[in-house]
Each structure stands twice: as C-alpha cells, then as structure tokens.
Amino acid sequence: MNSVFHALGDATRRRMLRELAGGERTVGQLAEPFSISLAAASKHIKALESAGLIRREVRGRTHVCHLDPGPLASAHEWLNFYERFWTSRLDTLDRLLREEDARQSPKSKKGDDQ
C-alpha cells in the first residue's frame, strides 16, 4: 500500500491515472499534456506500474497503458476507516456544540428581557 500512496503523492501521476480512467493511452498520449519527455513520462509510468495501478502492454513499438483499479480499491478501503473515524468525531462535536447552545439559549433570552 505504501507504493500506492507514493504513486498517488505526485500530481502528474494522479492526472495520468485520471486520463487512464477514460480508456487506454499510449505513453506519448500520457506525456503530452505535461510537455514532458517520454523518458520522464516513463519514470512516472514505472512508479504507477510498481504500485500496480496500471498495466503496460507492448504493441509493436507502441506501449499502451491501462488502468488497474484494484489497488485503488484497497487504498479507498484504508481511507474509509479514517473517514468513518473523523465523521464520528465531528458528529460528536456537533452534538456537544448544539447541547451547549441549547443550555445557553434560555439564559441569553432572560438577559435580553431585562
């Protein structure tokens, strides 16, 4: 999972993954929006491959990349734990603040009448 988060930690790689969500792309197509060399694009693609996020297929001299969403599902599951944790904590805070407001409301209304 460390390699997945490492791969996702780079904006270029995240954008490449988003492109691949729309369908297969060649290395050149993935490099094009960034104005980077094919060598630089290849380094990003290797990081994504190492994380298991993409598969590369060689067709003649063309390298075609495909998204492999499996590792993203594992990362999402891991993050989901923390989402539930913080949602629970924030719900508790919201409840406590509402209770505090409810206790203070009658006091402030009495003070307003005087």
Residue 44's pLDDT is 95
pLDDT of residue 68 exceeding 60, the answer is yes
Averaged over 58-87, what is the pLDDT?
89
Q: What amino acid is encoded at 56 in this protein?
A: R
pLDDT of residue 82 exceeding 90, the answer is no
Residues 6+ apart with CB under 8 A from 68: 52, 53, 54, 55
Residue 63's pLDDT is 92
pLDDT in tens, 8-66: 999 999 999 999 999 999 999 999 999 888 899 999 999 999 999 999 999 999 999 99
What pairs with residue 99 in β-bridges? Answer: none
User: How confident is residue 110, by pLDDT bands cut at 50, 70 and 90?
Assistant: low
Q: At what angle do helices 11-21 and 38-50 cross, to 10 degrees?
A: 80
Distance CA 44, CA 10 (A): 9
Residue 2's pLDDT is 83
